[in-house]
Amino acid sequence: MQEREPLLVMSDIHKAFPGVQALSGVHFRLFPGEIHALMGENGAGKSTLIKVLTGVYPADRGEIRLEGRVIQPHSPLEAQMLGISTVYQEVNLCPNLSVAENILIGREPRRFGRIRWKAMNEEARRLLEERLHLRIDVTRPLGSYSVAIQQLVAIARALNISAKVLILDEPTSSLDRGEVEQLFSVMRKLREDGLAILFVTHFLDQVYEVSDRITVLRNGRLIGEHLTENLPRLELVSQMIGKELKELEELPKEESRVADWAEKTLEAVGVGRKGSVEPFDLGIGKGEIVGMAGLLGSGRTEAARLLFGADRADQGRFVMSGEDTVIHSPRQAIDKGIAFCSENRKTEGIIDELSVRENIIAALQASQGWFRALSRKRQEELADEYIRALNIYPPNPEIPVKNLSGGNQQKVLLARWLLTHPKLLILDEPTRGIDVGAKAEIQKLILSLAREGMSVLFISSELEEVLRISHRIAVMRDRRKVSEIAGEDISRERVMKAIAGG
C-alpha cells in the first residue's frame, strides 16, 4: 500500500479569514483505493481544507496536485470536472427543487437538450433505493424532508458523480446506525473500485470501522498522518485535543432517583397532529432526562415540535404543574419555560448574519420583550460566560455566527437555550457535528442541569448517547410512540427491539 503514488497531494496550504488563521502549512495526501479520515476538534479547519481543495475558497498559499499535475479549481464546478465530488458539511442543496433534481441537476438525462423528467425521477429513485435503501417520493420538494433524509440525498448526489476523489464532510451527523451501515458498505465498494475517499466525522467508532488512514488537524495545523491500525483511540483523541485525556466513555451513570419524577414539568395527553404524528402521551418529570429513540423519519422531531408549539397540535392537551395549558406557538412555550433546540441548525437555528453574542442572547432577550433590553455589558458577560463554558472557538463574541465552524454553531445554539434557564429543555440532535471532547462536556452539562431540576427531552440518532444519559426512553416508530422503557430496564437490546418493532 505504502508504495503507491498518492492521487492527491495538498502541500503547505495556508488560509486565513479575518481574525482567524484557519489553516497554516497543512500537508495532506490521499491515496487511491483508501478511505482517509480527517479528524480534529470543532474549528480545527477540516471543512476549510475541503473548501480550499474544491475551489470554494482560494488558498492564500500552497499547492494542490491531482495525479501529479498542479490543479487550481476556482469553483466546485471546476473541481467536479477534475473528478472531485463533494458532500459539504451543512446540507447544501436546494430545498425548493425536488429530491430527484437535487440528485441529478447538472447531469439530468436529456434528449435533444430536453430534460427527460420521467427518466430522471426513475434514476433518482433507483439510486436512492439501490445504494442507500431509501424509499421516498422523489418528486416532492427536498425541503419537505427531515435533515437526515436531506443528508442522504446529498450523499446520493455525490455518489452519482463518476469521480476519482469523493469527499464526505460529516455525512453521518444525523444518520442512525442502519443508514450509516448502508453508507459504509457503499464506501467500501467504492474503495474497491479504486476511489480515494476523504471522510470527516466526529464518531470515533466510525473512524475505526471504515478508515484506512487518519490525518489529524489541530488549530489549523497538521498534527500527524497515521495508518489507522497504528493509532490507538486514546492517542488519536489526545492528538486532536492536544492533551492527555482519560477514556471518554466513563461518564458517571446516574443512579436513578425515580421517586422524584412524580412531579411532572410537562405532560402531553393524547397530543397529535394529523398527517404528522399520531396522538401520544408523554410526561416529563422534574429533573428527568427522557430520551427519544427511533429510526429515521419515525417522527421524533415532529413530536418534539408539537411540544414546543412550533407546529400546532390539533388533538390532545398539555398539562403543566397540574393545570391545563395551551401551547400554540413557540412564544407561548417559551413563556412557560420550554426551550427547543432544533436539529436543523442552518435554517431553524442560527441567525447567520448576526454575531455570536446576539445569537446567544436572542431567546433570552425575546422572552424579556422589547423594552427590557439587556445592557451591552450584560450581553457581553453572558456571551463570554457561555463561550467559556462550551468552549466556543474562536472565543470572539463579535464575529458573525456564520463564520463559525459547524460544531461551534451548534454550541452557540445550545448556549442560547441554556441561557433562558428553561424548566424543560428539548434537544433535537444537540451533539450533531460536535467533537468528542465537547460531546462529553455537553453530556456532563445536561446531567448536571437535570440534577438541578431541569427536565430534558433528548433526541439523538446516536443510540449510545441516548442510552447513556436517559432516565427513561420513549421509542417512536412510524410516527407513533410505541413504548417507554425506564430505569433498570434500559438496555441496548430492549430499545433496539422496540425500535425495530416486535
Ligand X SMILES: Nc1ncnc2c1ncn2[C@@H]1O[C@H](COP(=O)(O)OP(=O)(O)OP(=O)(O)O)[C@@H](O)[C@H]1O
Closest to other proteins by CB, 287 vs 397, is 397
Which residues 30-69 are close enough to bind Mg ion by CB under 5 A?
A: 47
Closest to Mg ion by CB, 382 vs 467, is 467
Which residues 352-391 are close enough to bind other proteins by CB under 8 A?
A: 352-354, 358, 361-363, 365-374
Q: Which of 68, 252, 275, 502 binds other proteins (CB under 8 A)?
A: 275
219 binds ligand X (CB under 6 A): no
20 binds ligand X (CB under 6 A): yes
408 binds ligand X (CB under 6 A): yes
184-188 long-range contacts (CB < 8 A, ≥24 apart) are 184/209, 184/210, 186/131, 186/132, 186/159, 187/35, 188/35
Residue range at the interface with ligand X (CB under 6 A); choices 181-189, 298-306, 310-318, 369-377: 298-306
252 binds other proteins (CB under 8 A): no
Task: Tell me how far apart the terminal alpha carbons of the chain are, to the nearest angstrom.
Answer: 46
| Cα separation, 18 vs 1, whole angstroms | 40
| Least distance CB 422 / Mg ion (angstroms) | 20
The three cell numbers locating residue 2: 505504502
502 binds other proteins (CB under 8 A): no
Q: Which of 27, 61, 74, 253 binds other proteins (CB under 8 A)?
A: 74
| Least distance CB 429 / ligand X (angstroms) | 7
422 binds ligand X (CB under 6 A): no
415 binds other proteins (CB under 8 A): no
Per-residue b/e over 353-368, b at no fewer than 16 CB within 10 Å?
Answer: eebbbbbbbbbbbebe
The three cell numbers locating residue 14: 495556508
Closest to ligand X by CB, 286 vs 432, is 432
Residue 368 phi/psi, 5° resolution?
-85, -15
Tell me the residue type at 305.
Answer: R
314 in Cβ contact with 274 (< 8 Å):
yes
394 binds ligand X (CB under 6 A): yes
| Least distance CB 250 / Mg ion (angstroms) | 27
- SS3 label, residue 83: coil
47 binds ligand X (CB under 6 A): yes
Q: How many CB atoms sit inside 10 A of residue 450's CB?
A: 21
Going by C-beta distance under 8 Å and a sequence separation of 6 or more, which residues neighbour residue 247? 234
Which residues 110-169 are close enough to bind ligand X by CB under 6 A?
A: 135-136, 144-149
Residue range at the interface with other proteins (CB under 8 A); choices 212-220, 283-291, 327-335, 466-474: 327-335
Which residue is nearest to ligand X, using beta carbons?
297
Using alpha carbons, select from 335, 345, 266, 344 the residue that is nearest to residue 306.
Answer: 266
Using alpha carbons, select from 160, 188, 220 the residue that is nearest to residue 38.
Answer: 220
145 binds, among ligand X, other proteins, Mg ion, none (CB under 5 to 8 A by kind): ligand X
